[in-house]
Amino acid sequence: MKHCLFYSIFVLLIVSCQEQSSSSLPSDRPKSLLVVEENSPLVLFLGDSLTAAYQLSEEEGYPFLLEQRWLKRKISIRVQNAGVSADTTQGVLSRLDWVMGQDIHFVFLAIGSNDGFRGIETAKIEKNIEKIIEHIQAKNCRVVLSGMKLPPNYGKEYTSQFEAIFPRVAQKYDVSFYPFLLEEVAGRENLNLSDGIHPNAQGHEVIASKLEIFFQEEGIVP
């Protein structure tokens, strides 16, 4: 979870600005990366910093890694990363029109942890997620919902109420449900950044491999 404060922005950026820059720009995409055909079906990954690959480049995030994995199996699916760091269910609701303006095959929705980190009443979180799903479904688009969990320091009562939101909503709207986005990643030191909650590049690899199997098993992607 991160907060965009004026001050931390200036201060951090002043510091980062003091590093010297190198002169050459990197050349175009390396050959080892596969390129998706332009007219392939589009999958939208809608979420927060976990999806946006916080502090990493987009190519290290699990959505792009998934695209690569599918390409290796000759499945051409375009992946659109619509993760925004620090976003909440409320934020997703207000940007749905922007991100849903395209022809989308299905939406992978992984949102809610920032709501939890902010201690928002679980009923309110649940209502927002429901609205998001209704909105997407109204566009005749399929939704895959990912479950979220909170670290144990939020207390048993709140964390269990929070975790219960996701399967309940999935069932209510009959959408595919992926139990926990950070399965086998959360809490593991070697798979997370120093902040302890955002996956590092290896963490994203694990998420991608788990998701690949999930999509295959659910029959969403061959």
* N residues, the chain: 222
Task: Among 134, 160, 174, 187, indicate the residue that binds another protein (CB under 8 A).
Answer: 187
The single residue of 8, 94, 174, 195 carrying the catalytic annotation is 195
Q: Which of residues 10-49 bind another protein (CB under 8 A)?
A: 10-11, 13-17, 19-23, 25-30, 32-33, 44
Distance CA 123, CA 126 (A): 5
**Nearer residue to another protein within complex by CB, 157 or 217:** 157
Known active-site residue 198: yes
Type of residue found at 119: G
Site string for another protein, 121-160 (x = CB under 8 A): x--x--------------------------xxxxxxxx--
**What token pair was written down for 21?**
């820059």
| Stretch binding another protein (CB under 8 A), from 83-91, 132-140, 168-176, 213-221 | 83-91
Find the shortest distance in angstroms from Cβ 87 to another protein.
8
Q: State yes or no: residue 219 binds another protein (CB under 8 A).
A: no
Q: Does 200 bind another protein (CB under 8 A)?
A: no
Residues annotated as part of the active site? 49, 195, 198
